[in-house]
Amino acid sequence: MNESLDRKKVILGLSGGVDSTTAALLLKEKGMEVTGLYFDVSSGNEEGRRAAEAAADQIGIPFLYRNVHQLFQDTVIDNFCSEYAAGRTPNPCVFCNPTVKFKILTQEADRAGAFHIATGHYARTAYNAQLGWTVRRAASEKKDQSYMLYRLPAEVIERLLLPLALMEHKEQAREIARQNHMNNADLKDSQEICFIADDENYADYIKRHGYSIEEGDFIDKEGNVLGRHKGLIHYTIGQRKGLGITFGKPVFVTAMDPAANTVTLGDHEDLFSREVICSGSFFSMTGSSCMPEILEGARVMAKIRYAARPAPAQIMTKPDGRILTVFDEKQRAATPGQSIVFYLDDCVVGGGFIE
């Protein structure tokens, strides 16, 4: 790490929302020289820019604006659309964090001579003699966002400050903003997918980006045709509602085959499995897809989706380089495209994309 970087300076991702605003207030209170950085992922989001700039002005910190639309388009949006079109269910935040958000934060920090970067994520960081620099779970299990940060390399985590790490709930962040008379203290939370407008669903968004969506067959696990589906992008593993087909009993999406353009329907018990295979893995210790030797065959806690509870499992590398996770108990609806994330105690050690 460049020793010339100033450890009192920090570049903070400032969205204009209450979380990043409160993070800035807390850092400033500790005597840090904070600069707010707004990422424009849509090339012309004047409303978002004005909100972030107004927050920076109220806090009394410098403000930077960066148009990252093309980078975001080429990485996050293209991946999002192509994954859905292939019958997978991506998590764009997981993809964005290492390829856009934290990449730009570190570049701007280097340019400004700042050692630290910061965000309003609910998570912690820690240095461990065995694991190196890792992301840790937040104090609040309900608010914890460590899952979203598993693809960050150690050299980024070392520089990362997460001021909301110990907060038990969002109301604490709002209260700090209120105490500082911030105009956005009671602003509602942003929508789930930041680049899709509130009045547009993700299927229409994908179609608008030039992807052709074809109807196909609903089938059962024996391959018998049950009816017609309206295109793979409209479904995800575990889905029960909105199928457009009835059987007099609950049925669930249990598999999708993009090559055959089929959606398999089955019973609830068909969704459960002890084994999950992932590819595109990343481990912060190695900064690559290579699993550290200390994790080979190790007992870990693993999450198969953001909202899932971590569950005990064992992980090992298959001969083809993919990672096999064997859970102690069956997990429901492991979904291709989503991430499986591995923890030792409360430290994130790696993860990958579910196959």
20 carries a ligand binding annotation: yes
- Is 96 a catalytic site residue? yes
> In this predicted structure, which of 53-57, 191-195, 304-308 has the lowest mean pLDDT?
191-195
> In this predicted structure, which of 18-27, 157-166, 189-198, 247-256 has the lowest mean pLDDT?
189-198
What domains are defined for the chain? 6-120+163-179 (3.40.50.620), 214-266 (2.30.30.280), 273-354 (2.40.30.10)
Q: pTM of the predicted model, to two decimals?
A: 0.95
Mean pLDDT of 221-230: 96
Residue 39 β-bridge partners: 66
pLDDT of residue 246: 86
Q: What is the largest CA-CA distance in the chain?
A: 69
14 carries a ligand binding annotation: yes
Q: Hey, which bits of the chain come out as E strands?
A: 6-13, 33-40, 63-67, 114-118, 124-128, 132-136, 160-161, 216-219, 225-229, 252-257, 262-266, 272-282, 299-303, 311-317, 323-332, 339-344, 347-354
3 has a pLDDT exceeding 80: no
Question: Alpha-carbon dihedral of residues 305, 306, 309, 314, nearest 10 degrees?
Answer: 50
- Is 81 a catalytic site residue? no
Confidence bin at 185 (pLDDT 50/70/90): very high
Confidence bin at 232 (pLDDT 50/70/90): very high
- Give the active site residue among 81, 93, 96, 278: 96
Rounded Cα distance, 54 and 74, in Å: 29
4 carries a ligand binding annotation: no
283 carries a ligand binding annotation: no
Tally Cβ neighbours within 10 Å of residue 203.
16
- Give the active site residue among 194, 278, 290, 347: 194
